[in-house]
Chain A
Amino acid sequence: MEYKLIGKNFTPPDIEAKVTGAAKYAEDFQADGMAHVKIFGSPMPHGVVNSIDLGEAEKVPGFLAALVPDEVKQPGPAGFPILSNKPTYFGQPIVAIAAENEQAAADAAAAVKVDMTLLPFVVDPLESLKPDGPDALEGGNIASRGIDFQSLKWTGKDFAMVGEDELPRGEAPIEWMFGDIEEGFANSAVVVEESMVHATNAHQAMEPRSAAAYWENGKCHVWGSTQSTSFAQPGLARLIGIELSDLVFVAEFCGGGFGGKATSYPLMALPALVSKKIGGRPCLLRVSRVEEYDNGMARSGFQGWMKLGFAQDGKLLAADMFMVQDLGPTSGFRDYNNVGIASTIVYQPASMRFRAVPVLTNTTPKGAQRGPGENQAANMVEPLFDKAASELGIDRLAIRRINAPGGGGADAKIGAAQGPVTSAYLKEALDKGAEAFNWVERSANSGMQNGSRARGYGIGQAYHSAGSNGFDGLVRITPDGILHVHSGVGNLGTYSYASTSRVVAEALGYDWDNVVIERGGTQKHIPWNLGQFGSNTNFTMTRSNYVAAMDAVLKLKEIAANAFGGSPEDYSLENERVFKTSDPSASLSFAEAAQRAIEMGDKYAGHVLPEDIHPMTQASAKAIAGTGLVGVAKDNLEKEGTVPALAVGFIEVDVDLETGKVEILDYVGGADCGTVIHPDGLAAQVRGGAVMGFGLATTERHVYDPAYARPNTRTFYLSKPPTILDVPLKMGWVATDQPDPQNPMGMKGIGEPLQGAASAALINAISDALGGHLFNRTPVTTDMILNAAEGLPQSHKPLATNTV
């Protein structure tokens, strides 16, 4: 279908503020008399506070107040407290200090004396599962949604049954299966069985999670850094202990989130609680980079085991997977769940068993990071497909094509229940990517040597669910003719807040220059929108914006029918006018219709609202009622099945066998994201996701001091996100551009799997350059490459998580 705006490039309205420095992030706001907040973090990975001595801190000139754990609501077991007197990770905030300036706050925090007793701690999940292994929390070592907090120990026999290089497989609280895996393995021509490790790594958003807050007239004002303007609010209100309606929340820009700022988080509430203690005075918590590494989020790691059975043609007949997840010190995120789900949709196994154990550790708190579980799955499973292809003697593209869902995905199945998907074009993405990369011809150069450099090629595939439903849209046409699209989705940097707003303009036939996006905080009267995470924005927001636009369309026609007679069906829209189809002279401009909406009142001006919309949308619609024609609705459109975002990556590398350095020569990313809504924005995501994937594949990981569980990767230099010198000079992209039938304009999301496809492709290419060496460990670091190139054993134990 030919659109006026959809599929066309545009300049996002907030981008100029980014290049001029005018964009205001959380800590760029300043208020008169602003006090500064600093935290005293736990000096040990697990301990109990015996006493807190504030005597010296209070003497620091400028000291204002201290907030201690007893003054803060504490969550249940394996929860994530704002302040804790039983810290479960290094650096966890115990005391917050407010002072006149930041130096004084830092001095006072340094003068706090906390007497603590060290408790048993653990950084390696398998250690905790041993019969006499330590629990990360008092009373338990496993917890997750649907799994009660408890202590789980495997037997000595469980560990003795396997060698050092195989994952022990004891009791698992998560187990599901479909089909007959025994029959599948019996019928397999090749069975691949491997154990593997996937490291944890930090989100490393450029903007630390700073926040500021003050209280005025009973309302709490917060400036925060979040991916999700609407969706973050209920959780933040709960953390602060106020009603949602008493929160004034400003979050215009977010300096990177990647899942780590998906909604609200404990530190975002801290300045508000400290401010309350000093009479509502503005308080700024400026989080340092080290504090961000300590308290910011991290991706969960895995120790895993997989057995895959393939037919002679490469079809995956049986998959058996066992995952031990490093949860960190809280119930974290269910990455394990997504490892299983991703494997079902990308490879369409005929039978599968999935078991998992989420284990608590005294490490940096874990949360969702771009493709949480799905991208680790890509890094763990994709290399096994290369091994199987090699053993079957078939091409690495062919083994992926034969398993990939395609042709729309009518036959595709997903998850334990083998449910339907809304659309799937992974096979087509593989074909388009392979063509753009020229895979067949180029991959023939695999292993080619040039001096000390060996050439390698790799393919990667990844998945993430890409859409939800049931959220609200809110739009308004004012008497000056301007269309206001109210958006609470957030501004993570994908510009999807803007591209999804274009759906409203498209549906109403608006000139984009006459559209204003109202966003950035409660002061803009935003509707209840899903957060900007989970690759869902394009699908979810376009639906909610579409239904609000359709409500506006109907109201425009009703207003015209009221003016000129007839029924709404007799009217059409064009050039920002509503007119009688049979007599175009009977017409109103949208500006005139907006004026009439105000005069007619009732639902037209937002005085009467649908009953099924969220209280947040109700409040926002009431706030703008009477200012124009208000279109507001909940997305009740049909949705059946899971929306899959699918991505592929093709990569060419040179691996220096003398230094272990990997140089990426070329990369092509491919996306199945439905109708392309904003080509330049998609290109930025394909490339940016790939760059994050390169880091995930080769350099990024946590390292803890084994004796004290002190994190040792708390700088960019040590945690190592890719720089411009680590990426190829040019990176290509393709998209299937096939509409999803369950979105009014065919869109679905894509952000997350773009990373996993690239990281898996890179891991596979490094292996390819080394003659197919299987690392079974992510990231593949320089020393691992050197050891492999020289035929030496690796310096780490096969299943150890905490390696240098």
Chain B
Amino acid sequence: MENYGPYDPTLDYAPGPATKEIAVESGKVQSWKPLHMSRRNFLRSVVCSGTVIAGSGYLFTTLAPSRADARSVERLVSLNVNGRTRRLDVPPNETLATTLRYRLGLTGTKIGCNQAECGACTVMANGATIYSCSTLTHRVRDKEIVTVEGIASDDGTLHPVQQAFMDEIAPQCGFCTPGQVVAAVALLNMNPNPTIEEARMGLSGNVCRCGAYDHYLRGTMKAAERL
């Protein structure tokens, strides 16, 4: 049966209108599901695909596992965040940004757009930057996640990127800053001596409405000098 991604029978999927049998050109009869796709059903259907396209807004539950919402089948997951492994009960349709913010209390990761446009939710997964608002938590359960809270040393010593951003007065309103910090650290981890063009590209996934790009860029270059 063709579907919108692998179908997970463990979910109490509320079916839409009955599927129709339609003939395709080859003469083979195929099952066809009409485009009756509520946001809720869409989210259930993308459980195993690992990515969520723009527009899926309401993915959020509170810190406490929801008893009222019996439809979600929750699953235990071991999540390695900032060097610590935590056992968590996470619904399959929950995004990493939600898990980080509302289950782990790591509110440094911001949700600016919730649709992979702005980069305020940027975290590292095995060293690569990802938009945590558009990554399902279950997709990264075998990866090492680093959030902005995991950038400074355990003793509180700031990372050179954080210090340089402070020195350059890079943050203005500060809402995009956690994402900028993670993006810059990930860049310098992979490329300790970037050219200014490379640094610019490394930060290009992070929107700053205050327009402090020049200062983030200078901060990144200054951090590279100090590393």
Query: Which residues of A pack against B, CB within 8 Å?
Result: 11-12, 14-25, 28, 30, 34, 36, 38, 61-62, 100-104, 106-107, 110, 204-208, 253-258, 286, 288-290, 492-495, 680-681, 683-684, 687-692, 715-717, 721-725, 727, 729-731
Contacts and interface: CB of A to CB of B under 8 A. Distances in A.
Interface stretch (B16-24, B27-35, B64-72, B135-143): B64-72
B61 A102 contact: yes
Contacts of B101: 28
B204 A725 contact: yes
Interface residues of B, number: 71
A28 B178 CA distance: 13
Contact of A680 (B38, B40, B105, B169): B169
B213 A691 contact: yes
Interface in B54-83: 54, 57-63, 66, 68-70, 72
A19 B107 CA distance: 13
A101 B40 CA distance: 14
A684 B62 contact: no
B67 to A, nearest CB: 8
Nearest to B58: A106
22 contacts: A19-B158, A19-B181, A30-B105, A62-B66, A100-B68, A106-B39, A106-B57, A107-B58, A205-B175, A207-B110, A207-B112, A256-B173, A256-B175, A286-B60, A290-B57, A687-B215, A690-B211, A715-B113, A724-B200, A724-B206, A727-B211, A729-B200
B108 A21 contact: yes
B19 to A, nearest CB: 23
Interface stretch (B3-11, B114-122, B124-132, B186-194): B114-122
A17 B215 CA distance: 17
Given A30-B105, A206-B120, A21 B204 contact: no
Interface in B157-195: 158, 161-162, 165-169, 171-178, 181
Nearest to B165: A19
Which of B115, B148, B173, B174 counts the most A-chain CB atoms under 10 A from its CB? B173
Contacts of A24: 107
B48 interface: no
A717 B151 contact: no
Contacts of A688: 172, 210-212
A288 B59 CA distance: 11
B118 A206 contact: yes
A688 B171 CA distance: 11
Contacts of A725: 200-201, 204
Given A62-B69, A724-B200, 10 more contacts: A15-B174, A17-B174, A21-B109, A21-B178, A61-B70, A204-B209, A206-B110, A206-B175, A683-B215, A727-B214
Contact of B210 (A104, A256, A717): A256
Contacts of A715: 54, 113, 115, 117
Contacts of A110: 38-39
B115 A206 contact: no
B45 interface: no
A509 to B, nearest CB: 25
B173 A493 contact: yes
Given A18-B174, A61-B68, A715-B54, A101 B62 contact: yes
A15 B169 CA distance: 8
A729 B200 CA distance: 8
A251 B175 CA distance: 14
B90 interface: no
Contact of A684 (B152, B174, B215): B215
B170 to A, nearest CB: 8
Nearest to A206: B175
Interface string B203-221: 1101111111111110000
B37 interface: no
A691 B215 CA distance: 12
A104 to B, nearest CB: 6
B118 to A, nearest CB: 6
A21 B210 contact: no
A736 B105 CA distance: 46
Interface of B: 38-40, 54, 57-63, 66, 68-70, 72, 101-102, 105-110, 112-115, 117-118, 120, 147-149, 151-152, 158, 161-162, 165-169, 171-178, 181, 196-197, 200-201, 203-204, 206-217
Contacts, number: 214
A495 B62 CA distance: 33
A101 B212 contact: no
A14 B209 CA distance: 19
Nearest to B197: A729
In order of increasing CB-CB distance, the 4 nearest A-B pairs are: A21-B108, A691-B211, A255-B175, A18-B174
Contacts of A722: 211, 213
B162 to A, nearest CB: 4
A18 B115 CA distance: 23
User: Max chain A CB contacts within 10 Å: which of B70, B204, B209?
Assistant: B209
Nearest to B169: A680
B214 A731 contact: yes
Contact of A61 (B69, B161, B212): B69
A19 B166 CA distance: 7
Contacts of A716: 113, 117-118, 207
A11 B166 contact: yes
A62 B177 CA distance: 35
A297 to B, nearest CB: 13
Nearest to B180: A19
Contact of A253 (B69, B167, B173, B201): B173
Contacts of B173: 205-207, 253-257, 492-493
B62 A100 contact: yes
Contact of A724 (B59, B112, B203): B203
A15 B217 CA distance: 17
B106 to A, nearest CB: 7
A495 B167 CA distance: 14
A560 B21 CA distance: 95
A721 B207 contact: yes
A292 to B, nearest CB: 9
B114 A104 contact: no
Given A692-B211, A721-B209, A729-B200, A28 B166 contact: no
Nearest to A22: B108
Contacts of A34: 62
A690 B210 CA distance: 10
A61 B72 CA distance: 12
Nearest to B213: A724
A684 B57 contact: no
Contact of A12 (B149, B169, B204): B169
B177 A19 contact: yes
A15 B167 CA distance: 10
Nearest to A203: B209
A686 to B, nearest CB: 10
B75 to A, nearest CB: 16
A730 B68 contact: no
Contacts of A723: 204, 207, 213
A141 to B, nearest CB: 32
A430 B46 CA distance: 57
A716 B213 CA distance: 17
A30 B63 contact: yes
Contacts of B174: 14-15, 17-18, 23, 253, 255, 493
A289 B108 contact: no
Contacts of A683: 169, 215
Given A206-B207, A493-B172, A288 B200 contact: no
A15 B166 contact: yes
